[in-house]
Amino acid sequence: MNTEAGISDVAMSSSNIAEERQSHGLAIRPASLSGVRLGLLNNGKPNAGALLEAFGYRLADRVSLSNVSTFEKPEFGDSVDDAMVLRIRELCDVVIAGVGD
Protein backbone atom coordinates (compact mmCIF):
# COMPACT_ATOMS: atom_id res chain seq x y z
CA MET A 1 0.00 0.00 0.00
CA ASN A 2 1.34 3.40 -1.01
CA THR A 3 0.64 5.98 1.67
CA GLU A 4 2.69 8.81 0.16
CA ALA A 5 1.02 12.17 0.77
CA GLY A 6 -1.51 10.46 3.03
CA ILE A 7 -3.38 8.78 0.20
CA SER A 8 -3.51 5.00 0.04
CA ASP A 9 -3.77 2.93 -3.12
CA VAL A 10 -7.00 0.96 -2.98
CA ALA A 11 -7.86 -2.06 -5.10
CA MET A 12 -11.52 -2.18 -6.10
CA SER A 13 -13.73 -4.67 -7.83
CA SER A 14 -17.41 -4.96 -8.67
CA SER A 15 -19.71 -7.91 -9.09
CA ASN A 16 -22.44 -5.98 -10.91
CA ILE A 17 -20.61 -4.85 -14.06
CA ALA A 18 -22.49 -5.88 -17.18
CA GLU A 19 -20.75 -8.72 -19.05
CA GLU A 20 -20.37 -6.70 -22.25
CA ARG A 21 -18.62 -3.87 -20.39
CA GLN A 22 -16.08 -6.24 -18.80
CA SER A 23 -14.63 -7.02 -22.23
CA HIS A 24 -13.23 -3.47 -22.52
CA GLY A 25 -10.62 -4.00 -19.80
CA LEU A 26 -9.30 -1.44 -17.38
CA ALA A 27 -9.23 2.27 -18.14
CA ILE A 28 -5.87 3.88 -18.81
CA ARG A 29 -4.48 5.46 -15.66
CA PRO A 30 -3.57 9.13 -16.22
CA ALA A 31 0.03 10.17 -15.51
CA SER A 32 -1.28 12.94 -13.25
CA LEU A 33 -4.61 14.01 -11.77
CA SER A 34 -3.70 17.67 -12.13
CA GLY A 35 -6.28 19.41 -14.32
CA VAL A 36 -8.56 16.39 -14.75
CA ARG A 37 -12.35 16.53 -14.62
CA LEU A 38 -13.24 14.18 -11.75
CA GLY A 39 -16.51 12.26 -11.53
CA LEU A 40 -17.82 10.76 -8.29
CA LEU A 41 -20.41 8.00 -8.76
CA ASN A 42 -22.56 7.22 -5.72
CA ASN A 43 -23.77 3.64 -6.03
CA GLY A 44 -26.84 4.21 -3.84
CA LYS A 45 -25.60 2.52 -0.66
CA PRO A 46 -26.35 4.44 2.56
CA ASN A 47 -22.83 5.80 3.19
CA ALA A 48 -21.50 6.04 -0.37
CA GLY A 49 -22.35 9.73 -0.79
CA ALA A 50 -20.61 10.76 2.43
CA LEU A 51 -17.56 8.63 1.58
CA LEU A 52 -17.25 10.09 -1.92
CA GLU A 53 -17.80 13.66 -0.74
CA ALA A 54 -15.05 13.33 1.88
CA PHE A 55 -12.72 11.68 -0.63
CA GLY A 56 -13.44 14.34 -3.25
CA TYR A 57 -12.64 17.16 -0.81
CA ARG A 58 -9.40 15.49 0.31
CA LEU A 59 -8.31 14.86 -3.26
CA ALA A 60 -9.15 18.43 -4.31
CA ASP A 61 -6.98 19.71 -1.41
CA ARG A 62 -4.00 17.79 -2.82
CA VAL A 63 -4.46 18.05 -6.59
CA SER A 64 -5.50 20.91 -8.86
CA LEU A 65 -8.64 19.39 -10.39
CA SER A 66 -10.38 21.11 -13.29
CA ASN A 67 -13.88 20.18 -12.10
CA VAL A 68 -15.73 17.71 -9.87
CA SER A 69 -19.10 16.27 -10.97
CA THR A 70 -21.27 13.97 -8.88
CA PHE A 71 -23.61 11.26 -10.13
CA GLU A 72 -25.94 8.87 -8.31
CA LYS A 73 -27.46 5.57 -9.30
CA PRO A 74 -31.13 5.34 -8.29
CA GLU A 75 -30.72 1.93 -6.64
CA PHE A 76 -27.66 -0.07 -5.59
CA GLY A 77 -28.65 -3.15 -7.59
CA ASP A 78 -29.21 -1.23 -10.82
CA SER A 79 -26.56 -0.82 -13.49
CA VAL A 80 -25.64 2.67 -14.62
CA ASP A 81 -27.98 3.41 -17.52
CA ASP A 82 -26.64 4.34 -20.95
CA ALA A 83 -27.71 7.99 -20.66
CA MET A 84 -25.74 8.39 -17.42
CA VAL A 85 -22.71 6.63 -18.95
CA LEU A 86 -22.77 9.09 -21.86
CA ARG A 87 -23.11 12.06 -19.48
CA ILE A 88 -20.19 10.83 -17.36
CA ARG A 89 -18.04 10.31 -20.44
CA GLU A 90 -18.90 13.82 -21.64
CA LEU A 91 -18.08 15.54 -18.34
CA CYS A 92 -15.29 13.45 -16.78
CA ASP A 93 -11.76 12.27 -17.46
CA VAL A 94 -11.55 10.11 -14.31
CA VAL A 95 -14.40 8.53 -12.32
CA ILE A 96 -14.40 7.09 -8.81
CA ALA A 97 -17.32 4.84 -7.89
CA GLY A 98 -18.02 4.46 -4.18
CA VAL A 99 -19.54 1.73 -2.10
CA GLY A 100 -20.67 2.83 1.35
CA ASP A 101 -21.32 -0.34 3.34
Q: 25-75 pLDDT, tens per residue? A: 777 888 889 999 999 999 888 888 888 989 888 998 899 999 999 999 888
Residue 24 DSSP label: T
Instruction: Identify whether the C-beta of residue 45 lies closer than 8 Å to the C-beta of residue 75.
Output: no
The span from the CA of 13 to the CA of 15, in Å, is: 7
Q: Please name every residue paired with 72 in a beta bridge, in sequence order, or none if there are none.
A: 42
The span from the CA of 54 to the CA of 95, in Å, is: 15
* Prediction pTM value: 0.70
The span from the CA of 19 to the CA of 23, in Å, is: 7
Sequence spans of domains, the chain: 33-101
* Domain boundaries 33-101, corresponding CATH code: 3.40.1400.10
The span from the CA of 59 to the CA of 78, in Å, is: 27
What pLDDT does 8 receive? 52
